[in-house]
Structure 1
Amino acid sequence: MTVFDFLSQLSADTLPQFIMISGEDDDIISALKLQLMAKVNFDPSDLSQAYFDLSEADPDLALEELESLPFFGDEMLVVFENVWELTTVKKSVLTENQLLRLEQFLDNPLASTRLIIICHGKLDGKRRIVKKLKQIALHLEATPLKPNELSQYFVNQSNLHANIVNLIIEKSNSHFATVGQNIALVTTYTDGRQVTLEDVEKAVPKSLADNIFDLTDLILKGKITEARSLVTDLVLQGEDEIKLLAILTNNFRLYYQIKLLLNKQYTERQLIDYLKINPYRLKFLVAPARSRSKEFLAAAMRYLIDTDFKIKSGQADKKFLMDMVLIRLSGIS
């Protein structure tokens, strides 16, 4: 169960008096904050609710709001964000006296006041106030989601088919915020109709992995001029030849794996299950793997690995060696 699953099971009535969100993944924190604020019906215009970003707000004013009895209703909701003193981050917003006031409130809270604390960073477990919060507060820890959790989360959030979401995740390099942005981009592009895998390819900007797959395809087709142009463009965008070479090597390793499995009469479904690869992506990999010999793919991998060693050991200029890769791989028979 992810932290999002846990939060979804709670209602506004079952939420405890103290809630704390913490972690080093700001994208997960933002998503948790958004969902929690919706669950407590947070409204900045509601005078019985108050939000303070302590990196900007006056801490004394924030603490006074926390310590005061509700004036515009029977209950009060107070949100503190960026309480750096609770984390290992080397920043400070509270004096020792102000931190003591916060701790004293935790010891003797007003029953009518609910407090939400949002910390960007790893909690400092050595601090007494942090130990206290861990005992009395609901702690929502923002940790990166595992691949299957990431997929399930965005399937639930978007109501898109898993294959669609998985392709978007792949094209977004599994970056939580980018996945969300690209899902929004695709749904806007399709304007209410059912989203297809082709829509994802058209609407979502190409990732580095996409570009290297294009490069691999150009190499296999012997299109040296186009391949050189693509490498030049990627380098101009800030990509390093060593990184390009590493992904290119992984691509040829994948082709080699597919070739071996095809020789063992694996079906497409078996390939998907074994390689854990998106079905849409697989259909573009099978044909090149079929058309090339096992010996060609093995020789290509050996050459790529040897080139990587030569670059890292400084035997020749990496731009020259990358160009030789394009030439040699197109000519290996």
Structure 2
Amino acid sequence: MVMEIWKQIKQKQIAPVYLLFGKESFLINETKQLLLDRILKEDEKDFNLSIYDLEETPIEVALEDAETFPFLGEKKVLFLQNPTFLTAEKIKEKVEHNLSRLEAYLKQPAPNSVLVLSAPYEKLDERKKITKELKRTAVTVEAKALNEQELKDWIRTRASYNKIEIAPDAVEQIITLVGNNLFMVTSEIDKLALYVTDTRMIDVDIVEKLVAKSLEQNIFALIDKVMDRKLDGALRIYYDLLKQNEEPIKILAVLAGHFRLIYQVKELARRGYGQMQIAGQLKANPYRVKLILKQIQKFKDEELAWIMKQLAEADYQMKTGKMDKSLLLEMFFLKLTT
């Protein structure tokens, strides 16, 4: 849906009113920037762009502005941020809004203005008359986290925007390393595009070489080595983390969180939950859950219980200073691999 609306905007099919809502701020910001670039020339932005925070300013003030003619241009753009009157969340209103004034405007929008309401809320209050009216008359963009297929489409589209191609396994690897943070995904693709100016193709080797692994991703790879009983590989990753100035106690905490998640995913999978259900239940990244579902087969319940006990003991010894922190983790990996 978002991509379709972007396509219309790029073709300069501009609506008089837009409603952007959801927690995925990257999509909201990209939509606003796209509208701005398609409607106003660079030298018009100083005069014909207005931004109102509706937590501080009554809606009728913004609407009066919308009904005035643009200065030295054909159109004006108004960004109306934080329309708290659209959400069911308990937010203390600082100003009163004349919503009947907005209802009247929606029936007859100013022909020379584009009104963009930006609501950073997960859900809108569908019971309210103004919400129903806005969703009926405005072009609505729901900025929610993309599912796996939508994210793959996004990556391919972004690669195409940079006039490059991306291999299917490279798409998978970007998701594995970066997750579903659109800002980071887009940043990585743009960086990779600069690297492949000659071949115009991103393959999985280039992704492995250039995309930085987060601490969580390094821990994931480390656990894979442990499960395959490859102590040398596990220690190599661990020493690299130490060279990156990661504290042993932080590494231990991430390890404990990951094994706890493995245990929870294993239990929910046993109850018949699917990937997305598990992610929703645990409020976890769906892509992380997908990878863990592959890992859980390698652990028996009693092994996970033993590992959690070892982690708790290591945590206690670290915090009480009974043994060198780095050595404690090395011993933990040795126990796991043997």
TM-score normalised by the shorter chain: which range applies?
A: 0.5 to 0.7
* 3-state SS, counterpart of residue 44 of structure 2: coil
Matched, 1:110 2:124: no
- For 1:141 and 1:78, how far apart are their aligned partners in 2? 19
Counterpart amino acid of residue 172 in structure 1: V
Decide whether the 8 Å contact of 2:188 with 2:211 is kept in 1.
Answer: yes
Aligned to 1:148: 149
Distance apart, 1:57 and its partner CA: 7.4
Aligned to 1:243: 257
- For 1:243 and 1:39, how far apart are their aligned partners in 2? 45
Distance apart, 1:214 and its partner CA: 3.5
Q: Superposition pairs for residues 82-121 of structure 1, below 5 Å?
A: 82-91=82-91, 95-121=95-121
- For 1:202 and 1:248, how far apart are their aligned partners in 2? 28
Decide whether the 8 Å contact of 1:47 with 1:72 is kept in 2.
Answer: no
Counterpart amino acid of residue 106 in structure 2: L
* 3-state SS, counterpart of residue 231 of structure 2: coil
* 3-state SS, counterpart of residue 32 of structure 1: helix
* 3-state SS, counterpart of residue 202 of structure 1: helix
Counterpart amino acid of residue 64 in structure 2: E
Matched, 1:25 2:24: yes
Aligned partner of 1:221 among 202, 207, 230: 230
In our comparison, the structure showing a higher alpha carbon Rg is 1
* 3-state SS, counterpart of residue 51 of structure 1: strand
Decide whether the 8 Å contact of 1:241 with 1:318 is kept in 2.
Answer: no
- For 1:17 and 1:88, how far apart are their aligned partners in 2? 26
1:100–1:140 CA distance, 2 compared to 1 (3 A) = same
* 3-state SS, counterpart of residue 50 of structure 2: strand
Percent of pairs with identical residues: 21
Matched, 1:326 2:333: yes
Aligned to 1:256: none
Decide whether the 8 Å contact of 1:48 with 1:77 is kept in 2.
Answer: no
Cα deviation 1:214-243 (Å, max 9, x = unaligned)? 353267233376576559746436843322
Counterpart amino acid of residue 21 in structure 2: S
TM superposition score normalised by structure 1: 0.68
* 3-state SS, counterpart of residue 220 of structure 1: coil
- For 1:43 and 1:186, how far apart are their aligned partners in 2? 29
Matched, 1:174 2:188: no
Counterpart amino acid of residue 151 in structure 2: L
Decide whether the 8 Å contact of 2:83 with 2:119 is kept in 1.
Answer: yes
Cα deviation 1:178-205 (Å, max 9, x = unaligned)? 1112112323344554433222222211
1:150–1:28 CA distance, 2 compared to 1 (3 A) = same
1:164–1:101 CA distance, 2 compared to 1 (3 A) = same
1:168–1:119 CA distance, 2 compared to 1 (3 A) = same
Q: Provide structure 2 residue ranges, at least 5 long, that are not aligned to the other structure.
A: 265-289, 318-327
Cα deviation 1:98-153 (Å, max 9, x = unaligned)? 54433332244334433222211132223322221112111111121111110111
* 3-state SS, counterpart of residue 142 of structure 2: strand
Counterpart amino acid of residue 109 in structure 1: P
